[in-house]
Homo-oligomer: A and B are copies of this chain.
Amino acid sequence: MATGRNHRPATTRSRGIPEATVARLPLYLRALTALSERSVPTVSSEELASAAGVNSAKLRKDFSYLGSYGTRGVGYDVEYLVYQISRELGLTQDWPVVIVGIGNLGAALANYGGFASRGFRVAALIDADPSLSGKPVAGIGVQHTDELEKVVDDNGVSIGVIATPAGAAQQVCDRLVAAGITSILNFAPTVLSVPEGVDVRKVDLSIELQILAFHEQRKAGEDVPDEEDTAPPAAPPAASVTKRTDSGPDGDLPAVMPA
């Protein structure tokens, strides 16, 4: 996470923008960009918050960490705010990105135009499959894994995207880090271990679906009497690992706490 660099027990406010705020800045930026394209000169916190899907008080507090860029009684200057947020996010420069693992997902990412328009440039596509080498994907030739270090070094890449199978992710990660990458976006369903100083963010679609399923189940079971303790499959602690062979025809149990 954040590199705890505050040796000042007192106030941690200097450049300390809360992580939660940082995560919302891209949201505001997107909404502001849309307004900018419609040549809207100013917006109130209320309007912008609505467009970004957040609470206006939260938005104002978020902006307060960046400085006082608004005008009371009027709102915020769209263009100016777009610049300030872009600068804060480091988007006034282009970030070369390397994508490793050009399969279904990697190819989709390579073809995605939303990156370039937001300050990211696909510097190279890397894959271990020799039959892919040289093949153009999204107008860029796929390069073999052997080239990884060279590509990172030549282009000064600091952000890497991993879209390989889970089994290869850690290995790829290690090579990326060794090559000088300090930020990784991981799509493989694995926990990556990296040295301090390297940021990792993960995107796991299965997890998202599972979270949705949890709430979905809860909605469905809302009217079900939640007092029963339907016989679970195998017994709990006793070391007699009676593995569940099946949970019977009806796998519908109203999860409830044991008495």
A residues in contact (CB < 8 Å) with B: 2-3, 5, 10, 13-15, 22-23, 25-27, 29-31, 33, 36-37, 39, 41-42, 51-53, 67-71, 74, 77, 79-80, 82-84, 86-95, 97, 104-105, 107-109, 111-120, 158-159, 182-185, 189, 191, 193, 197, 199, 201, 203-219, 222, 226, 230, 232-237, 239, 241-244, 247, 250-259
Contact, CB under 8 Å: A92 / B253: yes
A114 CB → nearest B CB, Å = 5
A211 is contacted by which of B53, B79, B201 (Cβ under 8 Å)?
B201
A114–B190 alpha-carbon span in the complex (Å):
12
A255 is contacted by which of B86, B97, B185, B250 (Cβ under 8 Å)?
B86
A86–B189 alpha-carbon span in the complex (Å):
17
A218 contact set on B, CB distance < 8 A: 15, 90
A13 contact set on B, CB distance < 8 A: 257
Contact, CB under 8 Å: B108 / A252: no
A243 contact set on B, CB distance < 8 A: 39, 79
A207–B203 alpha-carbon span in the complex (Å):
11
A258 is contacted by which of B29, B92, B201, B234 (Cβ under 8 Å)?
B92
Contact, CB under 8 Å: B210 / A185: no
Instruction: Give the 6 A-B CB pairs with smallest separation, nearest first.
Output: A90-B217, A117-B252, A53-B191, A104-B108, A183-B212, A86-B255
Contact, CB under 8 Å: B89 / A257: no
A120 CB → nearest B CB, Å = 5
A70 contact set on B, CB distance < 8 A: 237
A105–B112 alpha-carbon span in the complex (Å):
8
Contact, CB under 8 Å: A159 / B210: no
Contact, CB under 8 Å: A241 / B209: no
A41 contact set on B, CB distance < 8 A: 239, 241
A175–B170 alpha-carbon span in the complex (Å):
41
A233–B83 alpha-carbon span in the complex (Å):
8
A–B pairs, 7, beta carbons within 8 Å: A36-B244, A39-B243, A83-B233, A92-B252, A104-B112, A113-B252, A115-B205
A208 CB → nearest B CB, Å = 5
Contact, CB under 8 Å: B111 / A191: no
Contact A256-B210, Cβ < 8 Å, known A71-B237, A191-B52:
no
